[in-house]
Amino acid sequence: MKAIVVSGATKGIGRAIAERFASEGYHLGVCARNADDLAEMKEQVSAAHKVRVETVVTDMSKKSEVLDFGKAMEERFESIDVLVNNAGFYLPGMLSDEADGVLEQQINTNLYSAYHLTRCLIGKMKARREGHVFNICSTASVVPYTNGGSYCISKFAMLGFSKVLREEMKEYNVRVTSLLPGATYTNSWAGADIPEARFMKARDVANVVYNSYVLSQSTVIEEVIMRPMLGDLG
């Protein structure tokens, strides 16, 4: 049976992608920082879909923990078919006056996590000449927001990482897709005074990932931009 690894998968977009693939019978390898959320996810998803759910408590902002997560995934699954670099977070602010360290925090979680985890898992995909890496970027990867500060920098960089990986992986038959969602209703928006209907749904993002994956091997969706029907917020 096939397996998918998703970073930051207990909530939001990561959870929706993991559950979408589980509903198709894929085994899951997932991480997050909160152990209770991982235990809840394991119980709920394995009962609902009869798939294996392998969990590792991981802080994706820390290189050593990312490498431990990657190693655990390689040990627990014979092969990994899909990798989704999803873990990320948003700190609002402006470059001119945001707190010191905000850029480093977001680069660690939003970019370096994907770089290190991909380097752990891509070798076997290359050797098998099969696999698909999805990188969860953002519309902030292409449109700078006034209050997006360092988040935008991290997401521009994530798209750059994804494009370079796509070029490198062509000859190995490993597909790479950059997904650029706009505002999606998840915990990231908790407390925002905006009607839920104004956002995209995480399950729509998950459906785009799954539908991109099931195309024939000779086709790759390189980049997808998704926005709420009424456009960007703000």
Ligand X SMILES: NC(=O)c1ccc[n+]([C@@H]2O[C@H](COP(=O)([O-])OP(=O)(O)OC[C@H]3O[C@@H](n4cnc5c(N)ncnc54)[C@H](OP(=O)(O)O)[C@@H]3O)[C@@H](O)[C@H]2O)c1
Phi, psi angle pair for 68, to nearest 5°:
-65, -40
Fill in the per-residue mask, 168 to 207: x = in contact with ligand X (CB under 6 A), - = not in contact: -------------x-xx-xxx-------------------
Count interface residues toward ligand X (CB under 6 A).
31
Shortest gap between Cβ of 115 and ligand X (angstroms)?
14
- Of the candidate residues 32, 83, 120, 165, the single one contacting ligand X (CB under 6 A): 32
Phi, psi angle pair for 151, to nearest 5°:
-60, -45
Residue 217 binds ligand X (CB under 6 A): no
Nearest Cα neighbor of 112 from 95, 87, 140, 75 is 87
Interacting stretch for ligand X, rule CB under 6 A, among 9-17, 44-52, 163-171, 215-223?
Answer: 9-17
Give the whole-angstrom CA distance, residue 162 versus residue 176: 7
Q: Among residues 26 and 151, whose Cβ is nearest to ligand X?
A: 151
- Of the candidate residues 55, 118, 138, 212, the single one contacting ligand X (CB under 6 A): 138
Give the whole-angstrom CA distance, residue 132 versus residue 121: 11
Considering only residues 117-136, where is the footprint of ligand X by CB under 6 A?
136
Residue 225 Cα to chain centre, angstroms: 15
Q: 3-state DSSP call for residue 221?
A: coil
Q: Among residues 34 and 217, whose Cβ is nearest to ligand X?
A: 34
Residue 106 binds ligand X (CB under 6 A): no
Considering only residues 42-81, where is the footprint of ligand X by CB under 6 A?
58-61
C-alpha torsion 190→196→198→203, nearest 10: 90
Fill in the per-residue mask, 11 to 30: x = in contact with ligand X (CB under 6 A), - = not in contact: xxxx----------------
Q: 3-state DSSP call for residue 132?
A: strand
End-to-end CA distance of the chain: 44
Q: Among residues 14 and 149, whose Cβ is nearest to ligand X?
A: 14
Nearest Cα neighbor of 209 from 17, 10, 5 is 17
Residue 33 binds ligand X (CB under 6 A): yes
178 half-sphere exposure, CB direction, 13 A CA radius: 23
User: Which residues bind to ligand X, rule: CB under 6 A?
Assistant: 8-14, 31-34, 37, 58-61, 86-90, 109-110, 136, 138, 181, 183-184, 186-188
